Structure 1
Amino acid sequence: MQTKAKILVLIPCYNEEANIVKTVERLRELCPQVDYLVINDCSTDRSAALLKEHGYEYLDLPVNLGIGGGVQCGYVYAVANDYDVTVQMDGDGQHDPAYLMDIVTPVLNGELDMCIGSRFIRHEGFQTSFMRRVGIRFLSGMIFLLCGQRLLDVTSGFRATGRAMTAYFARNYAADYPEPESNLAACLAGFRVGEAPVIMQERQGGVSSISSFKSAYYMIKVSLSLIIDRLSIKKIHYRS
């Protein structure tokens, strides 16, 4: 799809030396019309060296901010450089740029303020482990109870935001494992949030930030955070 809109793809990167080059090259091959920014969050492997060697566009953070802080830096950059749509795409090879315009188009058409790439609409491709699917369904149910919005793939980091949503995230973004919390915050703030079907791949290399040991901790922490967010955030409308 050809478009004159300014689109920026944010690629958070922490110790992704096994994946980052393949991820960026596939994006450049399939979506040459978009800009991209790799956000290197103080990687301790060769990620930074590879970004420099290949001449990629990247932001080298001076301190480790975690996934939330790193992505928020990208949203600040997108606002400062006047992008129409900002896309978040993981650096581990799971998110296929072949589906990038599938999540961008509803935002460009004014149908949604944020469109999430969802594995669970058509149930094609890599569906993650059984226990993680159970956890995702639980969080999906929590978000529905807390704001009335049904979202299936609430932990998906593959999503596109319009100008207003991007500006909101530049000011307000959860620090740790932010997708479920930011989904709830966006809904409570009156933004139009929806999903589009995508096919994801299994991580192509490296180690996930959420290990089996951390999964229980993750579920407890995110569940409590969602409840606290709902108690502290009034349902108001930021979208103009």
Structure 2
Amino acid sequence: MDIKKLNIAVLLPCLNEEGAIGNTVSAFKQELPEAKIYVYDNNSTDNTLNEAKTAGAIVRQELRPGKGEVVRRMFSDIDADVYVMADGDETYDTSCIQTLINTLVSSHLDMVIGTRSTPTKAYPKGHILGNKAFSALINKFFDAKLTDVFSGYRVMSRRFVKTIPIISDGFQIETELTVHALHHKLPILEIPTNYQSRPEGTKSKLRTYSDGIKILSFIIYLIRDIKPLLFFSFLSFLFIVASMILGIPVIIDFIHTGLVERVPTAILASSIGIISIISLFTGLILDNVTKGRMNLVLLNYKNHYPVNSYEKV
């Protein structure tokens, strides 16, 4: 497959990446001279826009703050056969991009993730630990073996980009892309790539703790949304345990005395027990709704782009 025949779009969401965005654009232009490179600026206050234009990128803006907002706009606006998404901070290895694209096309995949090496200077320890923890959590719930769910270096097919309903607004976007592919059992693959330090004078926008909490909250939201029976069954279990802890002593007292001496506790235990039953049935109902929605997404996915479309290029 000659990738020169493909319509390739390189998508670079960025915010205040002066000193890095120009080199990032130039590096991708060198590796993919036929590709169109789009820089979507998210309200930068430095020279990011001019630097990207000078380097030869097509520059557009998304005023709503947040990386997820930018990616949603890019996926909606740009039409291509293959989409390359990376950060504009000059940390990803562009020399392997042709390998990533060739793997996507030749193996008929929907997403190839460029996993990052983790040298200490380039990748803070807090980020490494968080990535491993969240990767393990996602792998557990979705029966996967991914190593870097937060990598922003991804090559994606047109049908994947055009059929994913993005709902995240910030740094949760990589999690959403990954979980969407895992949940719908779409073909994806990880390929190791080099990861280097940001240029001096530039600063990461990711805040380890606050953004980590947002990502964890988003993962819980996705689990509730995608696996409602599991989520609400767990809640039901917690409620029934609480109900038993409160109610068993009341029952024991009644057996011994024939009286319900702790009426408020009895009422509370009964109420929590009812909530437990409601939670279980809520999970059962939402599970059927989720399966129906999943079928619609897959039908749209299958009809949107033929599996062997690349062979026609």
- The two structures share one fold, judged by TM-score above 0.5: yes
Correspondence for 1:101 among 98, 103, 107: 98
> Which runs of structure 2 are paired with 1:69-148 in the superposition (5 Å)?
69-78=69-78, 81=79, 83-120=80-117, 128-148=123-143
Work out whether 1:59 is the aligned partner of 2:60. yes
The equivalent of 2:39 in structure 1 is 38
Residue 217 of structure 2 is matched in structure 1 by: 224
Q: Which residue of 2 aligns with 1:176?
A: 170
Deviating beyond 4 angstroms after TM superposition, the runs of 4 or more aligned structure 1 residues are 123-127
Does structure 2 retain, via aligned residues, the 8 Å contact 1:125–1:201? no
What is the match of residue 12 of structure 1? 13
Query: TM-score normalised to the size of structure 2?
Result: 0.68
What is the match of residue 48 of structure 1?
49
Using CA pairs below 8 Å that are at least 6 residues apart, which structure has the higher relative contact order?
1
CA distance in 2 between counterparts of 1:199 and 1:113 reads 22
Letter in 2 for 1:42: N
- Whether contact under 8 Å (2:11, 2:40) holds in the other structure is yes
Structure 2 unaligned regions, length at least 5: 227-289, 303-313
- The CA deviation string for residues 64-114 of structure 1, in whole angstroms up to 9 with x for no partner, is 331111122111122xx3x11101011000112111122222221244211
Aligned residue pairs, count: 230
Q: Which residue identity lines up with residue 100 of structure 2 in the other structure?
A: I
Tell me, yes or no, if the aligned pair for 1:139 and 1:180 is still in contact at 8 Å. Answer: no
1:186 corresponding residue in structure 2 = 181
Q: Report the alpha carbon displacement of residue 54 of structure 1 after superposing the two structures with TM.
A: 4.7
- 1:128, CA displacement in angstroms? 1.4
Structure 1 SS opposite 2:12: strand
Instruction: Give the Cα separation in 1 of the matches to 2:154 and 2:40.
Output: 16
Structure 1 residues 135, 48: CA separation in 2 closer, same or farther (over 3 Å shift)? same
Kept in 2, the 8 Å contact 1:68–1:175? The answer is yes
Q: Following TM superposition, by how much is the alpha carbon of 1:125 offset from its aligned partner in structure 2, in angstroms?
A: 9.6
Question: How far off is 1:175 after superposition?
Answer: 1.2
- TM-aligned CA deviation for residue 126 of structure 1: 6.9
Shift of 1:149: 1.6
> Is the radius of gyration larger for structure 1 or structure 2?
2
Query: Which whole-Å deviations, capped at 9, do the CAs of 1:115-172 have from their partners, x for residues lacking one?
Result: 100125xx68976122221111101111112211221111110001101111123x32
Tell whether the 8 Å contact from 2:13 to 2:39 is kept in structure 1 after alignment: yes
Residue of structure 1 in register with 2:260 after alignment: none
TM, length-normalised to structure 1: 0.87
> Which structure 1 segments of 5+ residues have no match?
none
Please state how far the C-alpha of 1:186 moved relative to its aligned partner.
2.1
Change (3 A) 1:227 1:38: same
Post-superposition shift, 1:232?
0.7
Q: 1:160 aligns with which of 137, 142, 155?
A: 155
Superposition CA RMSD, Å = 2.2
Cα separation, partners in 2 of 1:55 and 1:25, compared to 1, 3 Å: closer
Query: SS at the partner of 1:108?
Result: helix
Q: Secondary structure at the match of 2:16?
A: coil
Letter in 2 for 1:175: D
Please tell me whether residue 200 in structure 1 is matched to residue 195 in structure 2. yes
2-side partners of 1:208 and 1:127: how far apart?
11
Higher helix share: 2
Structure 1 21/13 Cα, relative in aligned 2: closer, same or farther at 3 Å? same
**Alignment check: 8 A CA contact 1:125 1:200 kept:** no
Percent of aligned positions that are identical: 26
Q: 1:93 to 1:8 in 2, by over 3 A?
A: same
Contact 2:122 2:198 in 1 (8 A): no
